[in-house]
Amino acid sequence: MRDDSFSFKLKRGFGILMMLAFAVFAVFPILWVLILSFRPATQLFVPIWETPFELTLENYSAIIGTNFPFALLNSAITAGASTLLALLLGIPAAFALSKSRLSGKFLASWLLLLLRMAPPVGFVIPLFLIYINSGLIDTYAGLIFAYMSLTLPLVVWSMWTTFNQIPNEVIEAALMDGASIWKTLVKVMIPIARPGIVAAAILSFLLAWNDFFFALIITRSETVTAPVAVMNFVSYASVDWGAIAVASIVLTLPVVPVIILANKYIVQSLGGAVKG
Partner 1 sequence: MASASASAQLERAYKRMLIPTFLAVGIFAIVPLVGMIGLSFTDYHLIRGFRGEVGFQNFVRLWTDGRFMESIYVMCALSFIGVAVQIVMGTLVAVGLEKIVPRWRLARGFFVIPFAVPAIVTALVWLSLFTPTLSPINAFFAIFGIQIPAILTTQTGAIAAIVIADTWTTYPFVMLLILAALQGISTDLDEAAAMDGATRIRAFFYITLPLLVPALTMVALFRFIETLKHFPLIFVLTNGGPGRSTQATNYYAYVQTFQSSNVGYGSAIAMFLFFFAGVISLYIAKRNARLADA
Tell which positions 172-211 bind partner 1, by CB under 8 A.
172, 175, 180-182, 185, 206, 209-210
CA gap 154, 270 in Å, rounded: 10
Smallest gap from residue 247 Cβ to partner 1 (A):
8
Q: How far is the CB of 92 from partner 1 (least distance, A)?
A: 4
Candidates 65, 119, 178, 191: give the one binding partner 1 (CB under 8 A).
119
Segment 63 to 92, residues that bind partner 1, using CB under 8 A = 89-90, 92
**Contact criterion met (CB below 8 Å) for 243 and 233:** yes
Measured CA to CA, the distance from residue 22 to residue 26 in angstroms comes to: 6
212 binds partner 1 (CB under 8 A): yes
Q: Which range of residues in 51-59, 113-121, 133-141, 186-194 is near partner 1 by CB under 8 A?
A: 113-121
Query: Which of 72, 87, 124, 188 forms a contact with partner 1 (CB under 8 A)?
Result: 124
Cα(197)–Cα(203) distance, integer angstroms? 10
Among residues 68, 227, 240, 246, which is the contact residue for partner 1, using CB under 8 A?
A: 227
Residues 203, 117, 114, 269: what is their CA dihedral angle, to the nearest 10 degrees?
-30
Q: How far is the CB of 194 from partner 1 (least distance, A)?
A: 19
Rounded to a whole number, what is the largest CA-CA distance in the chain? 74
Give dist(CA 166, CA 204) in Å, integer: 22
Binding partner 1 (rule: CB under 8 A), the pick from 113, 141, 194, 221 is 113
CB atoms within 10 A of CB 38: 19
Among 57, 141, 173, 234, binds partner 1 (CB under 8 A): 234
Site size with partner 1, rule: CB under 8 A: 99
Q: Which stretch binds partner 1 (CB under 8 A): 54-62, 66-74, 188-196, 241-249?
A: 241-249
CB of 197 to partner 1, least distance (A): 16
Comparing CA positions, the residue from 67, 69, 30, 79 lying closest to residue 232 is 67
Q: Does 23 bind partner 1 (CB under 8 A)?
A: yes
Written as one letter, the residue type at 207 is: L
What gap in Å lies between CA 67 and CA 224, rounded to an integer?
9
Name which position in 4, 102, 191, 235 contacts partner 1 (CB under 8 A).
102
d(CA 262, CA 256): 10
41 lies in the site for partner 1, by CB under 8 A: no
